[in-house]
Chain A
Amino acid sequence: MASELTRQAVPTAPDEVPVLAPGQTFKSVTDTISGIVLTLKTPLFWFANFGIGFLLLQLFLLGVTMLLFKGTGVWGINQPVGWGFAIINFVWWIGIGHAGTLISAILFLFRQQWRMSINRAAEAMTLFAVICALQFPLFHTGRPWLAAYWLLPYPNTMGMWPQFRSPLIWDVFAVSTYGTISAVFWFTGLIPDLATMRDKAQGRLAKTIYGVLAMGWRGSAAHWRRYETAYMLLAGLSTPLVLSVHTVVSFDFAVSLIPGWHATLFPPYFVAGAIYSGFAMVLTLLIPIRAVYNLKGLITERHLDAMAKVMLATGWIVFYGYMMEAFVAWYSASYYEGFVIWNRMTGPYWWALWALVFCNGVMPQTLWFKKVRTSPVPLFIVSIIVNVGMWLERYVIVVTSLHRDYLPSSWGMYAGTVWDWAIYLGTIGLFLTLFYLFLRVLPMISIFEMRELVHKKSPGKHVEMME
Chain B
Amino acid sequence: MTEPTVARGFEVPASVDRIRRQAAMVGVIGLVALIGGAFVNRPQFFQSYLVAFIFWSGVSLGCLALLMVHHLSGGAWGLVIRRILEAAAKTLPLVALLFVPLIFGLEHVYEWAQPELVAKDPILLHKAPFLNTPFWVARTLIYFLLWSGMAFLLTKWSSQQDQGGAAGLDRRFARLSGPGLVIYGLTVSLAAIDWMMSVDPHWFSTIYGFVMVGGQGLSALAFIIIVLFTLTKSEPMSSVVQSKHLHDLGKLLFAFVMLYAYFTFSQFLIIWSANLPEEIPWYIRRLSNGWQFVMFALVLLHFALPFAMLLSADIKQNLRLLMPIALLLFVMRTVDVMFQVSPQFHEGIYIGWIDVAALVGVGGVWVAAFCHYLRGRPILPVNDPYLKEALANHGSH
A-side residues, CB < 8 A to B, are 8, 11-15, 109, 111, 165, 243, 247, 251, 254-257, 262-268, 312, 316, 320-321, 324-325, 328, 331-334, 368
> Complex: how many Å from CA A264 to CA B276?
13
Q: Smallest distance from the beta carbon of A456 to chain B beta carbons, Å? A: 11
Contact A265 B123, CB 8 Å, known A320-B186, A328-B204: no
> Complex: how many Å from CA A245 to CA B157?
42
Partner of B127, one of A109, A265, A333: A333
Contact A267 B182, CB 8 Å, known A255-B273, A325-B206, A331-B127: no
Does B136 make an interface contact (CB < 8 A)?
no
Interface positions, chain B 336-378, Cβ under 8 Å from A, are: none
A266 touches B127 (CB 8 A): no
| B173 to A, closest residue via Cβ | A13
B170 touches A262 (CB 8 A): no
Contact A320 B189, CB 8 Å, known A264-B206, A267-B262: yes
Question: Closest 4 interchain pairs by CB?
Answer: A265-B206, A264-B207, A267-B266, A333-B126
A14 touches B127 (CB 8 A): no
Partner of A264, one of B122, B185, B186, B205: B205
B127 touches A268 (CB 8 A): no
B210 touches A268 (CB 8 A): yes
> Complex: how many Å from CA A331 to CA B205?
10
User: Chain A residues with Cβ under 8 A from B210's Cβ?
Assistant: 265, 268
User: Chain B residues with Cβ under 8 A from A12's Cβ?
Assistant: 74
Contact A331 B130, CB 8 Å, known A11-B389, A251-B269, A324-B189: yes
B182 touches A332 (CB 8 A): no
Q: Smallest distance from the beta carbon of B312 to chain A beta carbons, Å? A: 13
Contact A264 B267, CB 8 Å, known A256-B274, A324-B206: yes
A255 touches B270 (CB 8 A): yes
> Complex: how many Å from CA A13 to CA B178?
15
Interface residues on B, range: 35 or more
User: Chain B residues with Cβ under 8 A from A264's Cβ?
Assistant: 205-208, 266-267, 270-271
**Of residues A8, A251, A257, A332, which shows the largest number of chain B Cβ atoms within 10 Å of its Cβ?**
A332
B174 touches A13 (CB 8 A): yes
| A268 to B, closest residue via Cβ | B210
B-side residues, CB < 8 A to A, are 74-76, 122-123, 126-127, 130, 170-171, 174, 178-179, 182, 185-186, 189, 193, 204-210, 251, 262-263, 266-267, 269-271, 273-274, 276, 278, 385-386, 389-390, 397
Q: Smallest distance from the beta carbon of B171 to chain A beta carbons, Å? A: 6
> Complex: how many Å from CA A12 to CA B178?
16
> Complex: how many Å from CA A333 to CA B122?
9
User: Chain A residues with Cβ under 8 A from B122's Cβ?
Assistant: 333
Given contacts A251-B269, A264-B271, A265-B207, 14 further A-B contacts (CB under 8 A): A11-B74, A12-B74, A13-B174, A165-B273, A247-B262, A255-B269, A257-B274, A263-B207, A264-B267, A266-B266, A316-B185, A324-B189, A333-B127, A368-B178
User: Chain B residues with Cβ under 8 A from A324's Cβ?
Assistant: 189, 206, 209
Contact A331 B185, CB 8 Å, known A11-B74, A111-B397, A264-B266: no
A247 touches B266 (CB 8 A): yes
B193 touches A331 (CB 8 A): yes
> How many A-B pairs fall under 8 Å by CB?
88
> Complex: how many Å from CA A265 to CA B264?
10
User: Chain B residues with Cβ under 8 A from A11's Cβ?
Assistant: 74-76, 386, 389-390
A334 touches B397 (CB 8 A): no
User: Chain B residues with Cβ under 8 A from A262's Cβ?
Assistant: 270, 274, 276
Contact A263 B273, CB 8 Å, known A13-B171, A331-B127, A333-B123: no
User: Chain B residues with Cβ under 8 A from A266's Cβ?
Assistant: 206, 266, 270
> Complex: how many Å from CA A17 to CA B80?
25
User: Chain A residues with Cβ under 8 A from B271's Cβ?
Assistant: 264
User: Chain A residues with Cβ under 8 A from B208's Cβ?
Assistant: 264
> Complex: how many Å from CA A262 to CA B179?
30
> Complex: how many Å from CA A324 to CA B213?
14
Listed by A's residue number, 23 A-B pairs whose Cβ atoms lie within 8 Å are A11-B75, A11-B76, A13-B171, A111-B397, A255-B273, A255-B274, A256-B274, A263-B206, A263-B207, A264-B266, A264-B267, A265-B205, A265-B206, A265-B210, A266-B266, A267-B266, A268-B207, A268-B262, A312-B178, A320-B185, A324-B189, A331-B193, A333-B122
User: Chain A residues with Cβ under 8 A from B276's Cβ?
Assistant: 257, 262
> Complex: how many Å from CA A14 to CA B130?
47
User: Chain A residues with Cβ under 8 A from B262's Cβ?
Assistant: 243, 247, 267-268
Q: Smallest distance from the beta carbon of B6 to chain A beta carbons, Å? A: 14
> Complex: how many Å from CA A256 to CA B274?
6
User: Chain A residues with Cβ under 8 A from B263's Cβ?
Assistant: 268
User: Chain B residues with Cβ under 8 A from A257's Cβ?
Assistant: 274, 276
> Complex: how many Å from CA A316 to CA B193?
19
Q: Smallest distance from the beta carbon of B21 to chain A beta carbons, Å? A: 38
Q: Smallest distance from the beta carbon of A47 to chain B beta carbons, Å? A: 42
Q: Smallest distance from the beta carbon of A249 to chain B beta carbons, Å? A: 13
Q: Smallest distance from the beta carbon of B324 to chain A beta carbons, Å? A: 24
> Complex: how many Å from CA A92 to CA B189?
28
B204 touches A331 (CB 8 A): yes
**Of residues B122, B126, B185, which shows the largest number of chain A Cβ atoms within 10 Å of its Cβ?**
B126
User: Chain A residues with Cβ under 8 A from B389's Cβ?
Assistant: 8, 11
> Complex: how many Å from CA A325 to CA B171?
34
User: Chain A residues with Cβ under 8 A from B76's Cβ?
Assistant: 11
> Complex: how many Å from CA A11 to CA B73?
10
User: Chain B residues with Cβ under 8 A from A15's Cβ?
Assistant: 171
User: Chain B residues with Cβ under 8 A from A334's Cβ?
Assistant: 278
Q: Smallest distance from the beta carbon of A463 to chain B beta carbons, Å? A: 21
Q: Smallest distance from the beta carbon of B260 to chain A beta carbons, Å? A: 12
User: Chain A residues with Cβ under 8 A from B193's Cβ?
Assistant: 331
User: Chain A residues with Cβ under 8 A from B205's Cβ?
Assistant: 264-265, 328
Q: Smallest distance from the beta carbon of A3 to chain B beta carbons, Å? A: 16
Contact A268 B269, CB 8 Å, known A12-B74, A257-B274: no
| B171 to A, closest residue via Cβ | A13
> Complex: how many Å from CA A213 to CA B159?
57
User: Chain A residues with Cβ under 8 A from B207's Cβ?
Assistant: 263-265, 267-268
Q: Smallest distance from the beta carbon of A435 to chain B beta carbons, Å? A: 31
User: Chain A residues with Cβ under 8 A from B206's Cβ?
Assistant: 263-266, 321, 324-325, 328
| B174 to A, closest residue via Cβ | A13
User: Chain B residues with Cβ under 8 A from A247's Cβ?
Assistant: 262, 266
> Complex: how many Å from CA A320 to CA B205?
14
> Complex: how many Å from CA A8 to CA B392?
12
**Of residues B122, B206, B274, B397, which shows the largest number of chain A Cβ atoms within 10 Å of its Cβ?**
B206
User: Chain A residues with Cβ under 8 A from B174's Cβ?
Assistant: 13
Q: Smallest distance from the beta carbon of B132 to chain A beta carbons, Å? A: 13
User: Chain A residues with Cβ under 8 A from B127's Cβ?
Assistant: 331, 333
User: Chain A residues with Cβ under 8 A from B251's Cβ?
Assistant: 109
> Complex: how many Å from CA A267 to CA B193?
19
User: Chain B residues with Cβ under 8 A from A263's Cβ?
Assistant: 206-207, 270
User: Chain B residues with Cβ under 8 A from A332's Cβ?
Assistant: 204, 278
User: Chain A residues with Cβ under 8 A from B273's Cβ?
Assistant: 165, 255
